[in-house]
């Protein structure tokens, strides 16, 4: 087997196969004794080029080098601390997982699950609307100004979120003077279901990128978990918008929730088909998840038909548009494999399409989290 040293780097990559000319044979996988065994083990931990990979690891021909190929499980796990072409993929979603874990713990402590104070009956003087503050930090100033004007016309108080959480703490400490007009906080399970769905998606994605290099069986299992995680994120992203939008319409709640759940289960079942993961079906995979995500626009349009004059409906719709834009752009980048398609080998370690896709997924999920806060604020204030 011949090896070449990458210019400007101390990383070696193989030019033939994972285990030399006998790649794929059981003999090549057997442990060796003595000096020969040490050389064989060292060879297994080298980074190889695309042409050296077995078929099940060939997903993107525009990423040319720095692949891990059939590493022992322990070494695959420890490779989280080394440099290869999956390092950024692993860490982007692992960091995203800890971000949403922090948001979940924060929400669990800050947002009560029983009726507590969220608003006084009348707006507080001097309390700035969140729409006003948003208008100062975004390019949607005129939109938020219109929303804020609509809010004042309907006499609907909209304190900032820090004021919202501050009132919650006051209530938990025994101050009942600012009870919510509805008298009871809306159920939190859709909100936390979304957070759990996001964490599951991010964690399974990170694990998939870290461990799939171990073996063909491991790759098969991890990819299915990855697809299940994507489905979970999409489904649980739609749960809250349906539940809180149609809080007073249980029929629509049931129809939309059952519909998106069914689509999610069907998507997971389709992903079990072996050819679903092949490079030839990259576009098909993308379309399957896009179609499932687009189903969420049904309840959004319905929401605008019912509450189109409400600032909460407009703001949450704006968030949902931004969320879907992030996901949509990410899917296009994933399916077209840009920018590495334009310059193969240049983006092997950083900047390739899947890494950009990961960042956009985290951004979209966080935007949806902001929308959830608006939904909670809305329904806790008014109830049903």
Is 180 a domain residue?
no
Q: What is the pLDDT of residue 271?
A: 87
> Is 210 found in the same domain as 153?
no
Q: What is the pLDDT of residue 274?
A: 83
> Is 202 found in the same domain as 117?
no
Q: What is the pLDDT of residue 124?
A: 40
> Is 344 found in the same domain as 239?
yes
Q: What is the pLDDT of residue 353?
A: 98
> For 49, phi and psi rounded to 5 degrees?
-90, 175
Annotated binding residue 354: yes
Tens-place pLDDT, residues 53-75: 999 999 999 999 999 999 999 99
3-state SS class at 15: coil
Is 183 a domain residue?
no
Compute CA 297 distance to the chain's CA centroid, rounded to the nearest angstrom: 18
Q: What is the pLDDT of residue 37?
A: 53
Q: Which residues pair with 72 in a beta bridge?
A: none
Domain final residue, candidates 125, 140, 172? 172
Annotated binding residue 162: no
35 within 8 A of 17, measured Cβ to Cβ: no
- Domain span holding position 121: 112-172
Annotated binding residue 93: no
Is 10 a domain residue?
yes
Is 304 a domain residue?
yes
User: Which strands sit side by side in the sheet containing 3-5, from one edge to the other?
Assistant: 3-5, 12-14, 47-48
> Is 283 found in the same domain as 164?
no
How far apart are the two ends of the chain, measured CA to CA in Å? Answer: 71
Q: What is the pLDDT of residue 154?
A: 40
E strand segments, 23-90: 47-48
CATH number of the domain at 291, please.
1.20.1070
**Spatial CA neighbour of 90 closest among 355, 288, 320, 363:** 355
Kind and range of the H or E run holding 300? helix 297-307
Which residue's entry shows tokens 């998939």?
208
> Is 136 found in the same domain as 204?
no
Q: What is the pLDDT of residue 138?
A: 43
**Spatial CA neighbour of 316 closest among 240, 258, 257, 254:** 240
- CA–CA gap between residue 82 and residue 86 (Å, rounded): 10
- CA–CA gap between residue 356 and residue 257 (Å, rounded): 30
- CA–CA gap between residue 105 and residue 54 (Å, rounded): 42
**Spatial CA neighbour of 348 closest among 53, 10, 64:** 64
Q: What is the pLDDT of residue 17?
A: 52
CA distances from 64 to 2, 60, 136, 343, 345 (A): 17, 8, 45, 11, 5
- CA–CA gap between residue 197 and residue 280 (Å, rounded): 28
- CA–CA gap between residue 86 and residue 88 (Å, rounded): 6
Tally of structural domains, the chain:
3
Which residue's entry shows tokens 């979209």?
364
- CA–CA gap between residue 245 and residue 242 (Å, rounded): 5
> Is 249 found in the same domain as 117?
no
> Is 96 found in the same domain as 155?
no
> Is 139 found in the same domain as 25?
no
Residues in the chain with pLDDT values less than 50: 1-16, 20-32, 114-140, 143-144, 147-183
Is 179 a domain residue?
no
Alpha-carbon dihedral sign for residues 44, 50, 51, 56: positive
Is 182 a domain residue?
no
> Is 196 found in the same domain as 283?
yes
Q: How many CB atoms lie within 10 A of CB 375?
A: 23
Which residue's entry shows tokens 């997903």?
59
> Is 132 found in the same domain as 98?
no
Q: Which residues pair with 21 in a beta bridge?
A: 19
3-state SS class at 17: coil
> Is 291 found in the same domain as 195?
yes
Q: Is the omega angle on the peptide bond into residue 339 within 30 degrees of 0, that is, cis?
A: yes
pTM for the whole structure:
0.77
Q: What is the pLDDT of residue 58?
A: 95
Contacts of 278 (CB under 8 A, 6+ apart): none
The contacts found for 141-145 with CB under 8 angstroms, 24 or more apart, are: 143/314, 143/318, 144/315
């Amino acid at each position: 087997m011949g090896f070449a040293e990458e210019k400007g780097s101390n990383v070696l990559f193989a030019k033939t196969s994972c285990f030399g000319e006998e790649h794929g044979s059981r003999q090549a996988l057997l442990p060796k004794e003595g000096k020969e065994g040490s050389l064989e083990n060292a060879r297994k931990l080298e980074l190889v080029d695309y042409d050296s990979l077995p078929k099940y690891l060939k997903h993107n021909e525009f990423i040319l080098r720095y692949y891990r190929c059939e590493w022992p499980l322990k070494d695959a796990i420890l490779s989280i601390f080394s440099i290869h072409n999956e390092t950024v993929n692993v860490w982007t979603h692992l960091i995203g997982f800890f971000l949403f874990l922090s948001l979940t713990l924060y929400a669990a402590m800050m947002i009560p699950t029983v009726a507590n104070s969220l608003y006084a009956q009348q707006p507080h003087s001097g309390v700035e609307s969140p729409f006003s503050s948003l208008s100062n930090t975004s390019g949607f100033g005129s939109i938020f100004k219109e929303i804020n004007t609509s809010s004042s016309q309907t006499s609907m108080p909209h304190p900032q979120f820090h004021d919202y959480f501050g009132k919650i703490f006051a209530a938990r400490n025994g101050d009942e003077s600012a009870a919510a007009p509805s008298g009871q906080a809306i159920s939190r399970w859709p909100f936390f279901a979304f957070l759990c769905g996001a964490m599951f998606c991010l964690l399974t994605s990170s694990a998939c990128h870290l461990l799939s290099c171990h073996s063909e069986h491991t790759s098969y299992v991890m990819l299915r978990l990855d697809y299940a995680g994507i489905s979970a994120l999409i489904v649980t992203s739609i749960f809250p918008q349906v539940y809180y939008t149609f809080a007073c319409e249980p029929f629509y709640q049931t129809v939309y929730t059952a519909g998106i759940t069914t689509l999610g289960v069907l998507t997971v079942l389709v992903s079990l088909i072996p050819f679903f993961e092949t490079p030839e079906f990259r576009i098909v995979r993308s379309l399957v998840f896009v179609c499932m995500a687009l189903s969420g626009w049904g309840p959004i349009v319905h929401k605008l038909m019912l509450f189109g004059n409400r600032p909460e409906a407009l703001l949450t719709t704006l968030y949902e548009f931004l969320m879907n834009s992030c996901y949509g752009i990410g899917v296009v980048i994933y399916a077209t494999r840009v920018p590495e398609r334009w310059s193969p080998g240049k983006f092997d370690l950083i900047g390739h399409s899947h890494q950009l896709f990961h960042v956009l997924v985290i951004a979209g999920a966080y935007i949806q989290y902001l929308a959830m806060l608006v939904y909670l604020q809305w329904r806790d204030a008014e109830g049903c």
